[in-house]
Amino acid sequence: MQSFEPFRIDIPQTGVDDLKERLMRTRWANELPPSEVERLPTKGPVQPGYQLGVPLSYVKPLVERWRDEYDWRVWEAKLNEHPQFVTNIDGQNIHFYHVRSERDDAFPLMLLHGWPNTSFEYFHLIGTLTDPAAHGADAADAFHVVIPTQPGFGFSGHTTTLGWNAGKVAVAYADLMNRLGYERYGVHGNDSGAIISPVLAKIDRDRAVAAHVNQIFSFPRGEAGEFDDLSAEDLQYLQFLQGFVDFAIHDYSQMRQPQTLAHALSDSPAGQLAWNGQLLGNVMSPDELLTAVSIYWFTNTSGSSARSYSENRNYADAEPSDVPIGLASFANDFRPIRKFAERDFTNIVSWSEFDRGGHWAAHDAPDLLVGDIRQFFRRFR
């Protein structure tokens, strides 16, 4: 075990004042009349009015709330309610929450977030995971919870070297769990966390017993006959997946020119809000969303978090993985085609599909997500 430094969020007042001043001087973007935008077709998850991107009708009220009503200090205090630490691994600071259950037999669980979230993604689940009995569930399902902030995101700070792809992050997380003294643990991930989780379980398989994920990103490869035995439902869903991919403009932009984006996002809180809010805005309360965006703003990690897409552009595990995998797939999210998932992951032991919830299920379907995490890891306790 190695030392950790206790961490407490304490943004200087000068930083809070600077944010307010910038919000007061926001120059609003021009846009087409809504009636013109609504003439454009929608595809995949794009909702009416968003065909050209995030509209002013979404951004302006939130900027005004951020400027006039939102109180960062209230949310800063909430974020400091659970124990946080920072440690240095391979030259990179890694911030993490570490909350142990009062039950000695609780199972260690690492929770991995995605972009544009941080460890805040799972903040509201800490109580129900560590103390299920207090939330009407079986006390035997208790977890010790570790929630790291991905290198380059939020309070882990920006990265200063190349190479922080999913594989390197997984190695760092394995080191973190070893430093914490956990000999057996499970890992759950969403979004980019769903990519890192199976890699972590594979490289640390003597201690990481299984990976639970919200997505399995397995796609057609253009191989002869790969569509031959797909059901009509699968073929129809492939069309939805194409729309989902077309919508993901942040993937392409951050993969190819993260630094170009960083100049705008680091200078404009309204821009940061629009860029992050395009994915988070429908699942959080306004103040939760503003907290998530404020973390990026105050830590100035828009550029380094975007670089994670560039780092992973050519990262791939060429060999199929045989680590135990559990999937919780939600109705309004990327839902994998099972044939392709089983091609890449040969030991899928749990496959759950839910009729509600979306890409950020920890926010909009926490009961379903926690329930599936519990049922999956019971077999490994």
pLDDT tens by residue, 34-56:
999 999 988 767 788 888 989 99
Whether residue 323 has pLDDT greater than 50: yes
**For residue 296, what is the domain's CATH number?**
3.40.50.1820
Stretch 299-326: mean pLDDT:
90
15 inside domain = yes
98 inside domain = yes
Average the pLDDT over each of 96-105, 250-259, 356-365 and give the range with the smallest value: 250-259
In sequence order, which residues have a C-beta less than 8 Å from that of residue 116 and are 6 or more positions away? 250, 275, 276, 279, 280, 292, 293, 296, 305
pLDDT band of 1, cuts 50, 70, 90: very low
Phi then psi dihedrals of residue 30, to 5 deg: -85, 160
Average the pLDDT over each of 152-161, 248-257, 320-329 and give the range with the smallest value: 248-257
31 inside domain = no
The residues with which 328 forms a beta bridge, in sequence order, are 352
In sequence order, which residues have a C-beta less than 8 Å from that of residue 367 and are 6 or more positions away? none
Whether residue 279 has pLDDT greater than 50: yes
Mean pLDDT of the chain: 93
| Domain count within the chain | 1
Which has the higher per-residue pLDDT, 268 or 47?
Answer: 268
In sequence order, which residues have a C-beta less than 8 Å from that of residue 124 and are 6 or more positions away? 362, 363, 366
Q: Which domain holds residue 307?
A: 5-25+39-217+227-378
pLDDT at res. 227: 85
User: pLDDT over 70 for what percent of the chain?
Assistant: 97
pLDDT at res. 278: 86
30 inside domain = no
At 160-180, the pLDDT tens digits run 999 999 999 999 999 999 999
Distance CA 181, CA 271 (A): 42
pLDDT band of 247, cuts 50, 70, 90: low
Stretch 251-257: mean pLDDT:
86
pLDDT at res. 117: 96
pLDDT at res. 244: 66
Q: How far is CA 90 from CA 163, 169, 176, 303, in A?
A: 11, 10, 11, 20
In sequence order, which residues have a C-beta less than 8 Å from that of residue 14 and are 6 or more positions away? none
pLDDT at res. 8: 98
Q: Are β-strands 208-213 and 185-189 bridged in parallel, bridged antiparallel, or unpaired? A: parallel
222 inside domain = no
347 inside domain = yes
pLDDT band of 325, cuts 50, 70, 90: very high
The residues with which 201 forms a beta bridge, in sequence order, are none
Whether residue 147 has pLDDT greater than 90: yes
Side chain identity at 328, as an amino acid letter? A
33 inside domain = no
pLDDT at res. 246: 63
Stretch 91-116: mean pLDDT:
97
Phi then psi dihedrals of residue 100, to 5 deg: -90, 140
Stretch 214-240: mean pLDDT:
85
Judge contact between 177 and 204, C-beta under 8 A: yes
pLDDT at res. 229: 86
Alpha-carbon dihedral angle through residues 331, 194, 147, 175, given to the nearest 10 degrees: 170
pLDDT at res. 111: 98
34 inside domain = no
Q: pTM to 2 decimals?
A: 0.95
